[in-house]
Each structure stands twice: as structure tokens, then as C-alpha cells.
Structure 1
């Protein structure tokens, strides 16, 4: 294609219609279960043929017309989709979880001949439907058509009536070519307007053959998977939206082709899912990690028999570090899988299952034989294995572009035809693909690139963590700081301090989130059931959430018992103050350095932004105010000229005998250099031991002194050094 040789499966179905035709060969076997209704394959295709006849004869659908579908997962969705394919229409899959603005934009953009929708989505689209005169093929899954009686000039026909009207009528199955457009899948639109991703018929067939290959390889290497717990047929629980590739291909097209039963849920609910698994003897779940973890950590899981589940597949997002063990512990199965793909690649890229999965359970999989993958740096130079960069893809299953958006298509592809995924990853020496993050999710803190997924995986190793999201928030001094929002496991109540200690044991200090919040409510998810990091970030505020707010269980200390600084042989702090002091955070300016810092001094000062509000001060410590900061090895910091740090500490010690102790005023490796005029960032942290003995980390730096003359300090030692900057009187300050 386009002068590029592409690898294909020679025996793949050439068109989407051919795939559906495979399903007709399964006759009277159970196929579809939704709510209290059931369909065999014969009954399902009888309804499909009846609706197709009505679409063709009564509603005037021609080959190439677009039929948009916007409704929750239900039997009407699947019947409408299949009927559309049979008459040669292009199915437009709309995010049914989107806003009114997104739905209306998609209708205007795709300009469908018909909208198939339930009551909520019809209501959201009434302005465009009336404006464009688009008829509605109505599903009563969420309420009947009487809810639309107040809407004028709306042409509504129920799917139930359309199926009844088409029974016994013939129609012509439209011819289709492999490179014709088969589908339009609109992205979720989490940033900007949704984009219509074009799928060709050949890509759909190739994608399904890839999925079959993965299944056959699992049998080849791991042996056949026997049905368990009195299950008599393979049964899939569809837990993700059908309007996305994962749901459409794994939840409908593949089971239809190979003769498996599918069970639809109106919406995801772990309790309902457990009941359905037990009643329908579900054998297979292909879903995103968040849903799988929600099921396996549910407090009532043991109350239901879910032993029929013999296979699970978690894809669509990075696999939490604890998920493989959770699958083994709760389901007792080793046949599991993971994968990586995207809407633009019909969900295909890398996959693995069974014994192959066990080799690298945290990897995304092995790259499909029908796709080319390369990893490039910021200059789009190809990187060797083991190096992290942007993943770029090319192959028969890659979309040719976006509907009516040549500009977006141009931006998405390189000049030589590679799709820019925006995902970061690497290929290891064994050929496994590892996803390390998203380019847009990378947090740049003080010039350091940090991938949130690395930090999330560490957090998931804590037994009290059920869901977590890490992201960057703006910071005046560092550019960005890390923030983490955590939803605990039922029955667990981890504290911010406990989580911070857990993170510190596995991560370097600059990767430990500055802000940690705990929430009693599950984290929001997008339409793909992935944790919606963008939504969480947009709703996050650096200001502390009130302690009585249900949005946060973060512990805010009211008093500090010991202030620990300095360092010992293990790099921990040693500076002790036994009296209770109140920590306060105030915004400061450089004029503070010229004030008398005593107990009767004002606790707030003019805020010009010269010193950021993250600086923490401890008032009333022997009548003096001071702040603390650490200097990691090799890093330099500074203070205003004229403030003698060592002398200030000694004066404090003289005035507070037996209370203020230090192990070393002149920390090993600490040296002063020449006086310089430059911008200096003060950055560090101290460890506090609270009244109840719990330690917490207090960041007392991130201070950007923008003007003035300073001494430059360097820590040339191998251990973190600590500086306590004590303001002991105006006589020690040199006015600028």
C-alpha cells in the first residue's frame, strides 16, 4: 500500500461482512445474553436480517451511508451494528459516555443518514437531529420514546418496531471491497473534539486473525484450557464499551466468528458482574486492568462462585505491578494475557498470553507479525533495543487517517508513513515491548523527566492501595511537581506518611510525590474504563483539601514533636527539638530577610512571589524563626549575603541548651564559594516525627530567590547535608 510492502495473514476474512457470516454457521448455539433476554445465533441473525430489510427498504440506506450508534452496551447496539454492515453502511461508533457537545460535534462531523440511540443520547443530540433532519432509530433500553414527545420535528422509529416490520422481507447484501471504509470510531475526546478514526475492511479482518493467532499460540505453548465449574460453552463477559475497539473486537466480532456466548452488562458493577459470572458460567474476561482489579479486590468476591473463569486478558492500560499475583491468588489460574494497542491500530500491536505472559508479566507483549514497530528519540532518530523513546507503528491494521481531518492526519504520521503513537516505551533484548508512559503525561520536574506509570507501579505494591493516579502540577520553582491521588483497598486506611515512606523505599527522592491525597471514592475513569488521569489532574488543587472533606483523608499534622535534620551514617536526620511547635506555610519576599525574626514578629509578610509559598517556617522555637533545607550530594544552594548559617545555629543552641542539638554544624563536604549574583533554587526536605511517632517528610525548600547577592553552597559529600537557615536579627542581614 502506498508503495510500502506490508505483511498480512493470507487466510484472514477480507471484509467485516465475511466475519459476521461466520456466525451464521453456529445455528442454535447460545450467542447473546442481555438482561432477561437470550438469543441463539439463529435468532440473532433473524433479527439482524429483519432490521437490515427495514433499513434498506423503508429508511433508504445506501451502501456507503453512515449509521451512527450512540447507546449503552445492549442487544440493540449489536443488532443495529450487524444490520448496518449487511446493507453496506459505515457504522459510526460514538462515545456514549461523552458530553452533549461531543455527541453533537460527532453528528455534525460524520453527517450520518441515521442515528441509532437510546433516550439519554437522543436527548443530548436533539439540536443537531432537528437541525439536520436526521432520523432516529430508537432503543428503549433506557426509557421509551414517550420521553421525546416534547421534541418537535424529530423522526423516531423504535428498533423493536423496525425489526418487526422487516421480518420475512428480503434485502440485498451490499458488496464490499477490502480497502473500503468499514467503520468510523470516534476517540473519547478527552482533549479537544473527538476524531473519527477510519477503519478499512482489510484491517478488521487482519486484526481478528491476529487475535486468533494469539489464542492458538496460547494453546500451543500452554495446552488447551479446559472448561471449569460445570461450564459447558465458552462465555465472554463484556465489560468495556462496544464503541471502542477492545469491546467491539474482543466482545462481539471474535466470539461471533468462533461461536462463543457473550453476556452484556448495562454498566460495570462488580456486584452485578459476580452474580452474572456465577449464573452464566463465564469463562473469559477481556477487559482493562482497572475493572479486573475492581472485581478481584471486591470484599464480597468470596461470596460468589467465580471459578468458571479460566482466562483473563488485561489490556488498554499499563498493568499494575500487583495484578498478576492477584489473578493467581483470586482465580487460581495461570493462563492470563496482556497487550498494547490503540484505536488507530484496531487495538493491535503487541500481545502475549499463557506461558509467554509468565516470562515478562509486566511487559505489554510481543509485537504482532503484521505490524512494524520502531522506537525513536525526540529527533525521530531510530533507537536500538533497550532505549526508551516514542513508539511509532506501520502496517496493514494502521488507520489511513482521520475522517475529514487532513491536518490531524498529517500531524499523526511521519513523512515516511509511521504513526506517531505518543506512547513511550522500549523493546528489551528478548523482543518484549514495555510501555513506560505517555509523552503528554511525562512530568518534567527541575529538568528531570519522570514517567507517572513508574511511580504508580510502586504505589500498587502497597497492600492498602486499590487505585492510584500520578500526574504533574505546576510549580513556580521546579516547573512541575508530582501529585498522587490514591483510593485505598476496602478495610485499609493508609496515611499519607505511610505511603510516602513506602515510595521512598523504592524511588529516588525526586520521584516521591510532593502532594499525596487519599479519597474514599473510586477514581474517575474515561470511556475506555481507564483511570482518567487528566480529569483527576484538572480537578486537583495544591491547596490542602479540608480534613472533613470526603475527597481527602490526607493527614495534616497539628504539631511536631521532633524536628529531625542533619545526617547520620544512614543519611537520616539528627537535629532534635523536643518542644511542640506549630508548622506554618507562608508566602515570603526577600524583605523578610531584613526583619527581626522573633516570636512577636508578624506571621505573614508581603507576597511578591520572590519566595514560593511552599517554604515552611517554624515559629517560636526559642523566640526565633528559621527554615530548613537539605542539599543532596553534588547540588548547590544559596542564601542572601550576610546571613551566617553556622553562627545562627550556634546562637540558637546557646540560647536553648539541652533543647537544640546538632550532630554537625559544618556538614561533611559542605563548602562556601564566591559571592555570585545568579538565580538560585533552594530545594530539599526534612523528616518530622509527629506526636504519635509517625514520621512524615516536610519539603522546606523549592524556594526561588530571584534577586540579590548570595553565597553559593555546594554539598561535595556523599551523604545528604542539611542547612537550617536561622534568621536571628536584623544586625545579621545585609540590606540590598
Structure 2
């Protein structure tokens, strides 16, 4: 059973970071010009992700992927990746720079195919596994990927337009009809387990990830090898510094294991869980799809030490666990959205042996941004942390220039981890990336005197009620403090007089009756009058989500506005 994790003196962590950067060649920092802008970089980093893949081979035959009754070691996964890479080159003619799409749920085949495509110097396009026909068609047309490695469900969606788009389909798992190749047959066709020869440069593209599309059609963010390496090595450095500051106690546990309960097509899944785990020798227990009760079972079955998910998942984990302890957990991380402060307290109360942590990053930054954990997070549960050392810079910008301490503005991030641009969208790229290399996130935030960042809201998610700006996140945070609220989403309701009013959709905890008037009164105790929801909908089922497990606010709002609210103030 894990003992309660000791905290780390922030000054000791900073000292450890400085020592590691100064004394460990792997983490030495220099400068490089990237697309005309000079950035801080890890000067001894491998030129491509293949170098990090080879680094992970030190763990040999140790179990890496755990999926149902399957066990795949580091060495075996790399053997499969290399064999598939050689087959893709020999049988299908895949060459450097080609785009190859993945369209499947979380399976070991996804990981092997991802590594195989990257090792060829080709560009992997992980498509959203929640997409259906029209959406998958858009992604394939937009990315111009002609080879698709898919599971049976996705292959069925793609088959109707296969010939029209000139696609070659590889069936990775299941029994669908219409595939040109079987994944296992391609593996069998190649016995070559050596890395394929490819001359990959640090700033070559490796991946196109489509944003979740919660505010419109998805955009393809073009990520580079150096961008992903910058993030992965920064996380590894920070973990090493925390371990040193805690006298050898790792934040990952003695026998690290993490639950993969979010999709691999999202950077939290591919980067924070899959690739980071490969780099540090952490076992990954895979879930094909999220199921909180099964998550509790897997954590205890495999004695997992880490959990990473969007905030709603960590909350559902608490609910699903009930009285079942999960003593092996030492860290419960979140990303992809802001965790309500009330959840930080609940998590620590429920899992006293574990420490909640959080990260802030975006698809466009290879998930790099800010991090917070341990005592810092307990003291500041509404913060997303300080910029990820040693390469990431964050500032808050207003129309008048850089914001003062505590002033709200747009969050800008500058790092070698930043994306190259949006695929086929030069105007969007120009709006998003400044000439001196800052990425304009579209998030509103503020920074305190100690450099901690607080996300206020998405710029497009602000409600402007009679000239007053209202943060949806703030109102949601108050809703989550109510003991009967399981899920909450705040959105704007059109209004002829005020322009917009505050709408709230809530899903009650199982078996509990929720009185909308009492909920509104509860929220009014802590919120200014103009922020209190004036329209409340009670959802009979969990709120709809995107493939990333974040709430689909656009759909929540659309459904709500088609029905009368349970409360109209």
C-alpha cells in the first residue's frame, strides 16, 4: 500500500532543475533558430522521435502495454513497429513525408502503427475515433492521407468513399469487409526488426492532430519532431527534479503504471501517457473506451500509480470507487480542461495517499504549457501552475500590451514545442502565431506575483450579459460545489434585452433529486447577481462529450435551447 506522498519544497525543486540542466548532458539547454525565430532547446536532444523510441528499448522485455489479457513489452512493441514500417515501405510504397491516417480506438495496434509511421519519416494523422462518415471523410480529404490503418467500425464508416478518395485500407482489428490489407498479414510479410533508414530533421513534421472542433470545424495542427521531443524531455526533467527534491521518492511511484482512459488521438493520450511512459519505463493499462467502474478495477488489478484524465474523469473515478480503496495511486493528474477547485479537495479527501496534479497545454503546443502539483496545487486549486521548465514562456496579453500582475488577458505561449501551423489554413495560422513566435491560445487568464497562471475561460466561451463579462468556468466551479451536482456546463442564452443570459445544464449525482431553484439559491450565495444562472436545465443523462471526453458545449447548448428550462428566473 502506498503511503501518503511527501510534498516537495518548491525551492528544492528549482535547485534540482538548475543542477540537472547544468550537469546532465541530456538536459543541457541551448538555442536554435526555428522557422526564423530563436528558441531555447535541449541542445543534445535526438534529432527525431526515433531517438526517443530507441532510448525506451533499455526497458527490454518489461511489460509496457496491458490490454485485456494481452501483454506487450517495450521490445516487442518496437519489433512490431519496425516490421510494420518495413512492410508499409515495401508493400505500399510509403516514403518520407507521406501522410498515413490512424482511425481506431485505443488498441496496441494504434501504438505500433504510430511508431511505425513516424520511424519512416512519414506523417501520422490520428483521426478522432468518435467521428463518423462525413467527419472522417473531411479529415482524410483535408490531410490528403491515402493510407488508413483502421479498426472494423471506422473501416465501415470509410468504405463508402474509399474508391472516390483513392484510399488504401488496412484493417487492424475486427472483421470488417473491404480492407486491402490485414495488419497481421503485413506484420507477417516482414521479419526486419531493425529501425528503417530515414534522414529525419528536428523540424520535420511528424503528426497532424485535429482539434476537437467544439467551436466549429476541426483544424489540423501540424506538429514537428522537435516540438514533441521538447515537451517529453521537459516533463521527464521536471519528474527527475521532483524526485531529487523529495530525496529519491518519485512522483511516478516505485513501479510506475498509468491508466490510459482517454483517446490516443488526443495529445494527452499520445504524449502525456503513451510516449512519456515509453520514455520513462511506465506501464500503460489501456482502455478501449472510458468506463469509470472498469477503471477502478484496472487500477487495483495492475497496481497503477498514476491516473491522467480530463477533470470529469477523475471525478467519475471518485464516484465509481465508492468505498473501494485504490492504495497504489500516488498521483491523479488532469489535463484538457480546468479542474473545478472543489474537485481538488474531494480527490485528496478520497485518496489521501495520492496527490492531485494538473497540467495546461494545447494540441498546438504538443501539450506543453503549465504544470502544478503537490503543495502548490493544494494551496492554489484554481491555478494551472507555472510555465513548464526549462523551455516554455507564458505571458498574459491585453489590447494595450502585456498585462500587469493579476490582470486578465489572453494567454500566449512561446516554446520550441509549439506547432508549425494549421494545415491548409494560412490565415488562421497567421492569426494564431505572432511573427516573434508566440502562440495566441484563445484562453483568458491571469498571472499572480509568483508566476502562477489562472485560466479564466475561453475567449469565445465568455458570456457578455448587458456589458458584463461572465466566465463560464467560474460559474461551473460554483455549481460543482453543490453536493448533488455530478456534471455542469454553462453557456450563453440569447436575450433581446441583455444580449446574453447565463444558462446552466446539470446532471445530478446518481439517485439524487436536484431542485433547480435551490441550486440557484446555493450558487447565489457566492456569485455576483449577474453571474447567477437565469435558465437551468436538468439533464436526464450524462452530458454529451467530444472524443477527448470534454463536454461538447456546442451540443449541450443546442439541445438545451430546444427544450424549456426547469427554471426560468
TM superposition score normalised by structure 2: 0.90
How far the C-alpha of 1:196 sits from its partner, in A, is: 1.4
Return the alpha-carbon distance in structure 2 between the equivalents of residues 7 and 341 of structure 1: 18
How far the C-alpha of 1:242 sits from its partner, in A, is: 0.8
Candidates 442, 446, 470, aligned match of 2:462: 442
Partner residue, 2:264: 242
Task: Say which one has the larger Rg.
Answer: 1
Partner residue, 2:52: 19
| Secondary structure at the counterpart of residue 422 of structure 2 | coil
Candidates 312, 315, 329, aligned match of 1:293: 315
Q: Would you say the 8 A contact 2:348–2:356 is kept in 1?
A: no
Partner residue, 1:532: 552
Candidates 365, 390, 405, aligned match of 1:385: 405
Partner residue, 1:107: 140
Q: Would you say the 8 A contact 2:80–2:193 is kept in 1?
A: no
Structure 1 362/173 Cα, relative in aligned 2: closer, same or farther at 3 Å? Answer: same
How far the C-alpha of 1:195 sits from its partner, in A, is: 1.5
Deviation digits for residues 225-284 of structure 1, max 9, x if unmatched?
A: 4799xx972111111111111110122111111111111101000111111112111111
Q: Would you say the 8 A contact 1:102–1:194 is kept in 2?
A: no
How far the C-alpha of 1:336 sits from its partner, in A, is: 2.6
- Report the more deviating stretch, 157-166 or 328-337: 328-337
1:330-479 correspondence to structure 2 within 5 Å = 330-368=350-388, 369-377=390-398, 379=399, 381-479=401-499
How far the C-alpha of 1:222 sits from its partner, in A, is: 4.2
Deviation digits for residues 81-120 of structure 1, max 9, x if unmatched?
A: 1111222211111111123222101111111241011122
Partner residue, 2:289: 267
| Secondary structure at the counterpart of residue 372 of structure 2 | strand
Return the alpha-carbon distance in structure 2 between the equivalents of residues 169 and 321 of structure 1: 48
Q: Would you say the 8 A contact 1:221–1:355 is kept in 2?
A: no
1:195-274 correspondence to structure 2 within 5 Å = 195-225=219-249, 233-274=255-296
| Secondary structure at the counterpart of residue 444 of structure 2 | strand
Q: Would you say the 8 A contact 2:327–2:353 is kept in 1?
A: no
More helix, by proportion:
2
How far the C-alpha of 1:4 sits from its partner, in A, is: 3.0
How far the C-alpha of 1:514 sits from its partner, in A, is: 0.4
Partner residue, 1:605: none
Return the alpha-carbon distance in structure 2 between the equivalents of residues 172 and 470 of structure 1: 50
How far the C-alpha of 1:53 sits from its partner, in A, is: 1.9
Q: Would you say the 8 A contact 1:204–1:397 is kept in 2?
A: yes
Return the alpha-carbon distance in structure 2 between the equivalents of residues 380 and 527 of structure 1: 37
Partner residue, 1:162: 186
Partner residue, 1:625: none
Q: Would you say the 8 A contact 2:329–2:354 is kept in 1?
A: no
- Report the more deviating stretch, 250-259 or 42-51: 42-51
Q: Would you say the 8 A contact 2:502–2:531 is kept in 1?
A: yes
How far the C-alpha of 1:217 sits from its partner, in A, is: 3.4
How far the C-alpha of 1:188 sits from its partner, in A, is: 2.0
What is the aligned residue count?
535
Unpaired stretches in structure 1, ≥5 consecutive residues = 150-154, 546-553, 557-697, 700-736
Partner residue, 2:302: 280
| Secondary structure at the counterpart of residue 21 of structure 1 | helix
1:544-563 correspondence to structure 2 within 5 Å = 544=564, 554=566
Pairing 1:57–2:108 present = no
Candidates 317, 341, 363, aligned match of 1:321: 341
How far the C-alpha of 1:334 sits from its partner, in A, is: 4.8
Partner residue, 1:632: none
How far the C-alpha of 1:536 sits from its partner, in A, is: 0.5
Partner residue, 2:543: 523
Unpaired stretches in structure 2, ≥5 consecutive residues = 1-33
| Secondary structure at the counterpart of residue 421 of structure 2 | coil
How far the C-alpha of 1:190 sits from its partner, in A, is: 2.9
Partner residue, 2:201: 177
| Secondary structure at the counterpart of residue 47 of structure 2 | coil
Pairing 1:38–2:71 present = yes
Partner residue, 2:534: 514
Deviation digits for residues 374-433 of structure 1, max 9, x if unmatched?
A: 2122x2522112100111222211112112221221222335443221100000111100
Partner residue, 1:503: 523
Structure 1 157/3 Cα, relative in aligned 2: closer, same or farther at 3 Å? Answer: closer
Q: Would you say the 8 A contact 1:227–1:308 is kept in 2?
A: no
Deviation digits for residues 663-701 of structure 1, max 9, x if unmatched?
A: xxxxxxxxxxxxxxxxxxxxxxxxxxxxxxxxxxx74xx
Deviation digits for residues 110-161 of structure 1, max 9, x if unmatched?
A: 1124101112212222244211322112122xx313xx25xxxxx5211121
Partner residue, 2:175: 144
Return the alpha-carbon distance in structure 2 between the equivalents of residues 514 and 243 of structure 1: 37
Q: Would you say the 8 A contact 1:459–1:503 is kept in 2?
A: yes
| Secondary structure at the counterpart of residue 190 of structure 1 | coil
Deviation digits for residues 16-72 of structure 1, max 9, x if unmatched?
A: 111111121111111111122111222222222221221121121111111111110
Q: Would you say the 8 A contact 1:236–1:283 is kept in 2?
A: yes
| Secondary structure at the counterpart of residue 356 of structure 1 | helix
Q: Would you say the 8 A contact 2:256–2:283 is kept in 1?
A: yes
Return the alpha-carbon distance in structure 2 between the equivalents of residues 126 and 542 of structure 1: 34
| Secondary structure at the counterpart of residue 212 of structure 1 | helix
Return the alpha-carbon distance in structure 2 between the equivalents of residues 8 and 396 of structure 1: 6
Return the alpha-carbon distance in structure 1 between the equivalents of residues 46 and 372 of structure 2: 22
Structure 1 11/289 Cα, relative in aligned 2: closer, same or farther at 3 Å? Answer: farther
| Secondary structure at the counterpart of residue 510 of structure 2 | coil
Deviation digits for residues 593-627 of structure 1, max 9, x if unmatched?
A: xxxxxxxxxxxxxxxxxxxxxxxxxxxxxxxxxxx
Partner residue, 2:15: none
Return the alpha-carbon distance in structure 2 between the equivalents of residues 499 and 474 of structure 1: 22
| Secondary structure at the counterpart of residue 322 of structure 1 | helix
Partner residue, 1:187: 211
Return the alpha-carbon distance in structure 1 between the equivalents of residues 400 and 428 of structure 2: 19
Return the alpha-carbon distance in structure 1 between the equivalents of residues 293 and 115 of structure 2: 30
Structure 1 294/169 Cα, relative in aligned 2: closer, same or farther at 3 Å? Answer: closer
| Secondary structure at the counterpart of residue 71 of structure 2 | strand
Return the alpha-carbon distance in structure 2 between the equivalents of residues 226 and 174 of structure 1: 36
Q: Would you say the 8 A contact 1:22–1:258 is kept in 2?
A: no
Structure 1 541/170 Cα, relative in aligned 2: closer, same or farther at 3 Å? Answer: closer
Return the alpha-carbon distance in structure 2 between the equivalents of residues 384 and 523 of structure 1: 37
How far the C-alpha of 1:3 sits from its partner, in A, is: 4.3
